[in-house]
Amino acid sequence: MSDTRSTHTTPAIAIIGGGPRGSGVLERLAANLDETWGSDRPLVVHVIDPFPPGAGRIWRHDQSPLLKLNSLAEDVTMFTDETSVIDGPVLPGPSLIEWAAGVRAGTIEIPVVDDILAAEIAGLTGASFPTRRLQSLYLTWFHQEAVAALGPNVTVQSHRATAIRVDDAAAVDDDAAGQLVVLSTGVTLNVDLVLYSLGHNGADPSPEHSALAEFARRHARYYLPPAFTADADTSGIEPGERIIVRGFGLAAVDLTVLLTEGRGGRFTRLPDGRLHYAPSGLEPRVLIGSRRGVPYHSKISSTLVGEPPVPRFFTPDVAAALDRDSTSLDFTSDVWPLIAQEMVWGYYRELFTGHPERVSTSWADFSDRFAALDPRALPVAAARPERSGERPASHPLPDWGADTFLIEQDAARFRVLVESTVADPIDWLFLPDFDRPLDGLRFESAAELQDALRDYIRRDLTLRTAPEHSATFALFIALLRSLFALSDIIDSPKWSAQSRVRDIHGWWLGYFSFIASGPPGHRLEELLALSEAGIVEFLGGDLWVQADEATGLFRAGSANLDRVVTATALVDARLPDTVVSASDNPLLRSLLDSGSGVEEQATDAGFTGSTGHLAVRQADTRVLTPGGDHHPRRFAIGPYTNSPFVGAFSRPRTNAISFRENDKVARALLVHLDGLVGGPQRTRLPANLAGSTR
């Protein structure tokens, strides 16, 4: 597909999606303007979003003040810093906590806010978990700063509308060029380049979800398919109604908040320090379970005290060497063992060097014996002897063939090494038990299961918050650095098809989220109080759910308890699946239907599948066409593409992936635009299709 010249006098870019990623690209356009375009040249940037620019849909101000980020205020930034490895200039700016301090000091001006937000800003500390409404203010301010930084020759036009379709202008007029962006308001914009920055999208119901919704309609029951919590209508859930919640991640925690405290219940601190919940009487009774049967690990508030963590087994250099020296790459056999080794190494390094009173040997002795183990043994080494060598159900491991016996022997050696040098079992880390703590456990009664889950949550809170358990933070750091190293080779053509579909875009991101992207610790403390108050009941792991036509009720049970519960309401508490072909966004669907884009397909001997993600060229995020070419004028970023994604905003000083991609795509847009408009102009589009482009 060949490039053509622009058809209008003022070069124009459309950014479809005004949330944090779109705003992040806008900031990078400003940063790179002088070098790649020239600040004295005119440019129009259209920002298209039905929600306010900056915050977008997910972080909009108009949502419950009870909903919070799962990040500390000191761990959120929209600005590059000295660690950012980018081609464009680094332009530091305030993190969320620094921004709040500036607001308090009067050096940063924001519009007048309500009393609740004013109180939050006044009391915010680095260790606070901010509300989404506060984050909305920060993102709105950031967007305005990015617009101002573009200078007087760049016009930013914000369209509070939905982009329905993007057409090639040549399809309308043979002499025209560029792209036609059709808006829900009836306006059609003629631009040179389009960046799809659509964030998280909903999805059409799967056959299972459609069947459950139809069952609920026939029997006058309530069913909520996967959805964004802030968008979900839970008014149909009646006080005292039994509701099965399938899922135990952030969506489930947020849902529980809205159905309890959001309905007037109150948490108070008892004299003994425990949290108590006083019901309002408007709450339903929540029966909750999932595949693992336990909530995501809470966010960590401890800090490192041992030797500074240094990656050893899965570093960017190791990843590059794997890619360079391998004829093919398989995640589960080539990469996952090294990530597991890195995680366990980071954990025990902090335990031994930061808390020598909790161990019986030196780090030098432990590390030498640890490094001699086959890394493939770590994902199968379990704490309980009866689990030794068991493969965790949450993700696959290859058949090691002749090596299996030796690997299982090293798994047993690792267990002995830990148990003989680490006195307290609370400090033991064995990845299968860490991942699936309820696997193989059976309870005699529902009460016994409740007690076990409460003990598990209390233990997890201790491990994530107590200073003496800072090794858990080292585990998180090792996992995060491994994710960054993996991102360097994520676009390698050497990955097996199964690795792309089943691993990289499958269990791996879920595993990462389970460990690193859970709720604030106080949310799990609240969950304990809700359990003790009889509002929440735990169902266990490997949860199954059925719709019973005979009774008109939903039924559920788990692998941990010989019991079946029934309810009149069911919620699938998770985000919609990322499958572009099933997206409820008409713009994404039209991209595929028109043949301008394609879902990423993975095929090799014996396996064919789709990752569900939009295929983009990793070098500049240009949208790939079904024929494998790249579209000359369309770019895409976000969680629905096959580029690495770990959030729109990131922890300061981590060389954030999102900032690297924002800079990459901003430079590509400006350089490509310069090439498009550098020659003579061609015929303009008819006036009725010129839109609001100046």
Mean pLDDT of 493-521: 92
pLDDT tens, 8-56? 579 999 999 999 999 999 999 999 999 999 999 999 999 999 999 999 9
| Percentage above 70 pLDDT, the chain | 94
Q: What is the pLDDT of residue 671?
A: 96
Q: What is the pLDDT of residue 381?
A: 85
Name the token pair of 531. Answer: 């359990």
Q: What is the pLDDT of residue 3?
A: 39
Q: What is the pLDDT of residue 660?
A: 93
Cα–Cα distance for residue pair 150/368, rounded to 1 Å: 54
- Mean confidence (pLDDT) of the chain: 91
> 171 pLDDT band (50/70/90 cuts)?
confident
Q: What is the pLDDT of residue 394?
A: 61
- At 333, is the secondary structure helix, strand, or coil? helix
Three-class DSSP labels, 361-426? CCHHHHHHHHHCCCHHHHHHCCCCHHHCCCCCCCCCCCCCHHHHHHHHHHHHHHHHHHHHHECCHH
Instruction: Say whether pLDDT at 672 is over 70.
Output: yes
> 177 pLDDT band (50/70/90 cuts)?
confident
> DSSP letter string over 127-150?
T---BHHHHHHHHHHHHHHHHHHT
> 402 pLDDT band (50/70/90 cuts)?
confident
Q: What is the pLDDT of residue 45?
A: 98
Cα–Cα distance for residue pair 271/262, rounded to 1 Å: 25
Q: What is the pLDDT of residue 182?
A: 95
| Pair type for strands 222-224 and 569-572 | parallel
Give me the domains of the chain, ranges plus CATH numbers.
12-66+132-202+578-674 (3.50.50.60), 207-296+520-572 (3.50.50.60), 316-438+466-516 (no CATH)
Window from 162-176, 283-297, 530-544, 653-667 with minimum mean pLDDT: 162-176
- In this prediction the pTM is 0.91
Mean pLDDT of 426-447: 96
φ, ψ (nearest 5 deg) of residue 610: -115, 140
> 558 pLDDT band (50/70/90 cuts)?
very high
Cα–Cα distance for residue pair 163/188, rounded to 1 Å: 9
Closest CA to 692 of 187, 142, 82, 168: 187
Residue holding tokens 């966004």?
Answer: 585
Q: What is the pLDDT of residue 491?
A: 85
Beta-bridge mates of residue 641:
614
Name the token pair of 590. Answer: 């039209």
Cα–Cα distance for residue pair 685/191, rounded to 1 Å: 11
φ, ψ (nearest 5 deg) of residue 612: 85, -5
> 648 pLDDT band (50/70/90 cuts)?
low
Q: What is the pLDDT of residue 174?
A: 67
Q: What is the pLDDT of residue 606?
A: 77
Q: What is the pLDDT of residue 137?
A: 97
Which helix (H) or strand (E) is 319 found in, with range? helix 316-325
Percent of the chain as helix, strand, coil, to the nearest 5: 40, 20, 40
Q: What is the pLDDT of residue 352?
A: 98
Q: What is the pLDDT of residue 368?
A: 97
> 398 pLDDT band (50/70/90 cuts)?
confident
Mean pLDDT of 335-350: 97
> 690 pLDDT band (50/70/90 cuts)?
very low
Sheet holding 544-548, edge to edge: 544-548, 553-558, 561-567
Cα-only R_g, the chain? 26
φ, ψ (nearest 5 deg) of residue 212: -70, -40
Q: What is the pLDDT of residue 679?
A: 41
> DSSP letter string over 312-360?
-SS-HHHHHHHHHH-SSB-IIIIIHHHHHHHHHHHHHHHHHHH-GGGBS
DSSP 264: T
pLDDT tens, 565-615? 999 999 999 989 889 999 999 999 999 999 999 999 988 877 889 999 999
Helices (H), 131-270: 132-149, 207-218, 250-259
| Pair type for strands 630-636 and 622-624 | antiparallel
pLDDT tens, 250-278? 999 999 999 999 999 999 999 999 999 99
Cα–Cα distance for residue pair 255/574, rounded to 1 Å: 10
Window from 19-23, 110-114, 450-454 with minimum mean pLDDT: 110-114
Mean pLDDT of 478-486: 94
Task: Count CA atoms within 13 Å of residue 274 on its CB side.
Answer: 12
**270 Cβ contact partners less than 8 Å away, ≥ 6 residues apart:** 276
Instruction: Say whether pLDDT at 693 is over 50.
Output: no
DSSP 329: B
Mean pLDDT of 494-512: 91
Higher pLDDT among residues 394 and 411, named by residue: 411
Q: What is the pLDDT of residue 682?
A: 32
Instruction: Say whether pLDDT at 393 is over 80.
Output: no
DSSP 446: H
pLDDT tens, 561-576? 999 999 999 999 998 9
Cα–Cα distance for residue pair 123/121, rounded to 1 Å: 6
